[in-house]
A and B are shown apart, each in its own frame.
Chain A
Amino acid sequence: MKRIICLVLMLGLVFGFSGLVMAQTSVGIALQVEPSKLNPITYQDTETGFVLGSICDPLVTLDEEGEFIADDSVVESFSVDETGSEYTFVIREGITFHNGDPLTAHDVKFTFEAFMDEELGSPHHRYYTGIESLEMEGDYVLTVVLSEPNVTFLTMSRLRNHVLPKDYIEEVGWEGYERNPIGSGPFKFVEHSPGNRIVLEKFDDYWGKKAEIDEIVFRFYPELSTAIMALETGAVDFMPEMPAEEFMDLQDRGAPGLSFETYQKFEDHRICFNKREDSEFSDVRVRQAVAYAIDINELIALTRGDMAIPARGRIPSFHPAYAENANAYDVDLDKARELLAEAGYPDGFKTAIYAPAGYRERVQEAQQIQQQLAQIGIQAEVVTLEWGTYLDVTAEGEAPMFRERWSAGVPEPIGFVESWHSESSWNPIFGTYENPDVDALLDEIMQTVDSQKRWELYRELQEIAMDDVADYPLYWPLIGEAFNEDLYIPDNLWNAFRRPIYYINYWSYQ
């Protein structure tokens, strides 16, 4: 008899649990890459950022126009002095980490120091080298003093949106933290089952907007078509950064049960040239010829349908620093041939265009560009290399032309243009480029606190660099997101400044 009662109770439990699952309080998110280590300082894959974004709170946030605000962040207010070299953060009182420890300015200071620690090996380390000192005033005020003015500081150096628990990390160490990361965010870490999934659950004592979703399950789908099928069958509800081709396919056939949204990313796609002296592309006329020969609209139609905007300069058109007067080199084959002849290549020359093998559209576009360049006599071989090899070869100047993609930090568009500075560590990676006017403008931008004036400098900068064809921008991609139609995601998250994946606490089921 007892056994029967036990059995009935167990069955009840089982059905009870499945009832909970049916009530849709869990959201499944498909990731193409499994986060390698949940370490906010050292991670390199964007997927890790997606997971940590729900666990940790940001230092400051952005509104949908790209203005810095304090909402949803650990600061109550922040200020910059008139020279742009002192940033003061007043930390909100009453925030606790998932283990119950209070969050104070000591934790913020600790996180800054972690990024500054060269031994830890953060890929963002270089953004923190300009910090002269971190000054505490009581437990809730921190002032960051820079050795020289830098108006881009908040864009590049706001701790990658993760304020970390000092005491906890000092106790368990970094490896311990990666196994069991805690933060002060709306969701807390439950488990990471290697190769399978990461589970987060709602943090009930969250200080800000409490989540309506009870649980987030990140699942890993290394094969893209499996991920798309998982989304279609409802095994997952959302897939960040779905490739354009798959998104358009789902949208065109009106896949049942899915909603569709698009927004413009803060990203550009371009051709980089090796401009070192031994390269044909050291001659500006050759680069201009290439620019005149490339038909951008044809490229976009081939790989992205209507999911991209042809570029003019590098900074995306929705940003106030967009340079509408920069030369976009509309297709003109005669002019291209003329420029080549002037440069001493009336019959063209043999060269190569490199693309990373894992990135389908970059390879397809490289092949299309190969055909377009053949029309002006440039015989470009398409070389596809696996990612690790590609990074090596392009950085060492062995690739005459390469098909690059660049995501910049929001909202200050410095990320798009800083590699043009002759002293930037990125300068050699993208084939070197030297123009004293460009250097002077970049130096001026860093010290111009007035944003309107700064946008003007960015425009001037892009016009010069486009005349030089420092790189040749192709397009700005639109990102399409297909997701469970029962999911409600507020409108003000659909933009490059906020992005839905970082604000799952605002999602709900309708």
Chain B
Amino acid sequence: MKKGRYVLKRLVRTIPIVIGVTLVTFLILHLTPGDPVRIMLGPYATPENIAILRAQYGLDQPLPVQYLTWLGNIARGDFGTSIRYNRPVTELISDRIGITVLLTLSGLFISVTLGSILGILAALKQNSWLDYLCTFQAMFWISIPGFWLAIIFLYIFGLQLRWVPIAGLTGFVSLILPALTIGLQEEAWFARPMRAEMLGVLNEGYIKAARAKGVRYFQVVVKHALRNVMVPMITMLALRLPWVIAGSVVVEVVFAWGGMGSLLVNSVLARDYPVVQGVLLIIALSVVAANLFADLVYSLVDPRIRVEGGKK
């Protein structure tokens, strides 16, 4: 019951955040020069042609009116119609969101798994060559620009070795390189805190006690130590989600996966306002949701953390 109220409270608090995001994107989009109708009609257009279409899309209205109309429609679940694609925005997004979710989740999966394993190994073998190697590789991947890493991967495994087809999303094999690109780039964000937290926990008295009891080292690490580092890792996961989504925009374009990233890029270039606003709204909502989710999971992982208003 208490938890339900907490969730509700949090949800209510997200409303101003989401409205703020939409307002800022709306302003940035509309204050940037460039007109969707002129882009659509190209240099061929006459001023009359442009005026007619602008009226058709409601772009001749004053900006506050446009924004409030849009907000009102969103409240009713209507994301509007794309200028460039002439399709409902919801349809454009639902056609492509699966690909982006797949890429984001598989990239996150790789980064968390790989980051955790390497972080734990580095902590267990502190100051050994293995520790230094883990640090080095994490710094290596995080220092390379994502689009460049993606092109290099394609060049080596696609063009030279011919292990993967260069034809967009064609099956499981085609998922490996894009997921790996994101995974390796993000891995450092999980490996470093994992190592630091693990080192702290391993020096705690209860670990020594467990070891003294005769529990096997592996079990100590998994059962006692790992559970205690979950909270900072979950925080990190929620914090990194927007970055992973941003990274997948670039990776999608290089690997010719038509997900939300390519949709967003094309729509920004075409000043397709309804689509850009719709996509950004979805991304903002997913980030807010991830943070809420992380907060709720804390209490599951660490019984000491209780939701607001719970029993101390």
Contact = CB atoms under 8 A, between A and B. Distances in A.
Interface residues of B, number: 54
Interface stretch (B8-16, B70-78, B254-262): B254-262
Nearest to A179: B87
B168 A219 contact: yes
B34 A386 contact: yes
A219 B254 contact: no
Closest 7 CB pairs of A and B: A195-B258, A388-B34, A235-B167, A230-B166, A194-B95, A389-B33, A425-B46
B293 interface: no
Contact of A388 (B44, B257, B258, B269): B269
Nearest to A385: B33
B99 interface: yes
A393 B258 CA distance: 31
Interface in A345-392: 358, 385-389, 391-392
15 contacts: A34-B258, A34-B262, A195-B96, A195-B257, A195-B263, A196-B169, A226-B166, A226-B255, A229-B155, A233-B166, A235-B166, A385-B33, A388-B270, A391-B38, A392-B38
B246 interface: no
Interface stretch (B105-113, B157-165, B224-232, B295-303): B157-165
Nearest to B45: A123
Nearest to A178: B86
A36 to B, nearest CB: 5
Interface in B26-68: 32-36, 38-49, 52-53, 56
A491 interface: no
Contacts of B254: 223, 225-226
A36 B95 contact: no
B33 A392 contact: yes
Nearest to B151: A225
Interface residues of A, number: 49
A235 B165 contact: yes
A259 interface: no
Interface in B238-289: 253-259, 262-263, 265-266, 269-271
A11 B3 CA distance: 53
B42 to A, nearest CB: 5
Contacts of B92: 194
A118 interface: yes
B136 interface: no
Contact of B38 (A175, A223, A395): A395
A229 B166 contact: yes
A118 B49 contact: yes
Contacts of B34: 386-389, 391-392
A393 B35 CA distance: 11
Contacts of A175: 86-87
Interface string A182-224: 0000000000001111000000000000000000000111110
Contacts of B45: 123
Contacts of B149: none
B258 A194 contact: yes
B159 A229 contact: yes
Contacts of A426: 43
A232 B162 CA distance: 11
Contacts of A223: 147, 151, 253-254, 256
Contacts of B159: 229, 232-233
Given A220-B256, A388-B33, 19 more contacts: A37-B84, A42-B40, A44-B40, A118-B48, A119-B52, A174-B86, A178-B87, A196-B257, A197-B168, A221-B256, A222-B266, A223-B147, A225-B254, A227-B256, A230-B256, A235-B166, A236-B167, A388-B269, A395-B38
A39 interface: yes
Interface string A68-108: 00000000000000000000000000000000000000000
Choose among A39, A44, A196, A392 the residue with the greatest number of B CB atoms under 10 Å from its CB.
A196
Contacts of B151: 223, 225-226
Contact of B43 (A221, A229, A386, A391): A391
Nearest to B166: A230
A490 interface: no
B41 A44 contact: yes
B85 interface: yes
Interface string B153-188: 011001100100111110000000000000000000
A111 B35 CA distance: 28
